[in-house]
Amino acid sequence: MITAGLIRLSAALLWIVGLIDGSDVTQTPLLWKLKDQSATMNCSHNKDASFYQMYWYRQLPGEGMKQIVYTTTIPPFQYESGFSEDKFPAQKNNPQTGSLTVEKLLPEDSGVYFCAVSQHSDTAYFGQGTKLTVLEKDKEITGPSVKVLQPSPKECKNEKDKQRKKTLVCVAKDFYPDHVSVSWEINGQNVTNGVATDEAAQLMPEKKFYQITSRLRVPAKDWENSDNEFKCIVNFFNKTHTVPYTDSIYGEAVTTTNVMTREKYVKITQAAKLTYSVFIAKSCIYGAFVVFLVWKLQGSKGKQNY
Ligand SMILES: *[C@@H]1O[C@H](CO)[C@@H](O)[C@H](O)[C@H]1NC(C)=O
Ligand SMILES: *[C@@H]1O[C@H](CO)[C@@H](O)[C@H](O)[C@H]1NC(C)=O
Ligand SMILES: *[C@@H]1O[C@H](CO)[C@@H](O)[C@H](O)[C@H]1NC(C)=O
């Protein structure tokens, strides 16, 4: 269809209209279903009856938006290639509402489904999307384990360069399903500058759990201040609650200065403890040696006296 093609071409532009004007089009926000079930998502709008055209799109993790079907109050509906009516039956009984069902759900159907309404196919108004999560029956909902990794010491060795940056990496893994968002804080303050997060969580090699990574690039001087705390927050949605999982590390002062980092301090105190223990051990051996000598001397004296 030409109209459908036009809409698809300008989807990026239309998306902006949707964002500004999102309150006009309302969608079911979240749906959690099991594999093989079906999911029906609703869409409604508060515009007048001339907005009787309704489009459905889906965006799979890490992919662009794809149109599924174009519906109006007068069937038949127009399905895009790759999308069948059996799998994606739609309903449009009145100008204000409509629905899309996804039958025989597979985990690969997990993604965000958008509805858009239009009057003349020139401007479409998008809803905020339905995030559909399809759960495998045998997999338990599991929150992530989160770890912040230090910057590599090899990263930008050139000490004179004022533009030096350090990259911290946050790794969240072993979670299921992939309903997460990652953010960073420095000393309790939200940071967005220098943050790059994977577009979508990836299935880990054994295909049971997901993982996602996020990188935070900071000026080297920020990292080299041991008072600075770098925290990674992974918000995991577990079907009912959004639960934060976090990890944090402190900056590390460069070794040429007198500033001591926490880790260094621990290392030095541990080294001191070790030295002390060796000292005590040595004293004991020495003491034993003295006792032995005395005993020997006494023994030989005894023999002499005999
Ligand atoms: C969609 O609308 C129908 C009819 O109003 C309702 O029965 C159903 O519960 C709604 N589904 C969701 C997911 O909101
Ligand atoms: C930090 O930013 C994230 C993402 O932009 C946001 O969801 C969160 O509410 C913010 N937290 C605070 C404490 O401002
Ligand atoms: C989700 O998190 C809440 C709050 O931590 C907890 O009470 C609930 O049991 C969790 N649900 C699942 C399915 O893990």
Contact predicate 214/114, CB 8 Å: no
The model's pTM: 0.70
Over residues 23-82, the pLDDT tens digits come to 589 999 999 999 999 999 999 999 888 899 999 999 998 899 999 999 999 889 999 999
Domain residue limits, the chain: 4-135, 145-250, 260-306
Q: What is the pLDDT of residue 204?
A: 87
CB atoms within 10 A of CB 214: 21
Q: Which residue has the tokens 């979670």?
A: 175
For the residues 152-181, what does the mean pLDDT come to? 85
Among 34, 176, 236, 238, say which to mutate for ligand 3: greatest number of ligand atoms within 8 Å of CB: 238
Q: Which residue has the tokens 């479409």?
A: 124
Strands 229-237 and 180-186: antiparallel
* Among 145-154, 256-265, 269-278, the range of highest mean pLDDT: 145-154
Structure tokens that stand for 48 in this block: 């007048």
Structure tokens that stand for 200 in this block: 């979508």
Cα-flanking dihedrals φ and ψ of residue 122, to 5°? -95, -45
Give the list of residues 6+ apart from residue 257 with CB closer than 8 angstroms, or none.
none
Over residues 226-265, the pLDDT tens digits come to 999 999 999 999 999 999 999 999 999 887 544 455 555 5
Q: What is the pLDDT of residue 84?
A: 96
**Ligand 3 pocket, residue 140 CB under 6 Å:** no
Domain 4-135 has CATH 2.30.140.10: no
CB atoms within 10 A of CB 128: 16
- What's the CATH number of domain 145-250, 3.30.390.10, 2.60.40.10, 3.40.190.10, 3.40.630.30? 2.60.40.10
- Cis amide prior to 219 (ω within 30 degrees): no
Among 237, 239, 240, say which to mutate for ligand 3: greatest number of ligand atoms within 8 Å of CB: 240
Residue 190 CA to ligand 2 centre (angstroms): 6
Spatial distance between the Cα atoms of 132 and 187, rounded to a whole number of angstroms = 35
Q: What is the pLDDT of residue 207?
A: 79
Give the list of residues 6+ apart from residue 277 with CB closer than 8 angstroms, or none.
none
Check if 4-135 and 145-250 are the same fold.
Answer: yes
Q: Closest Cα to atom 4, ligand 3: which residue?
A: 241
Of 250 and 272, the structure prediction assigns the larger pLDDT to 250
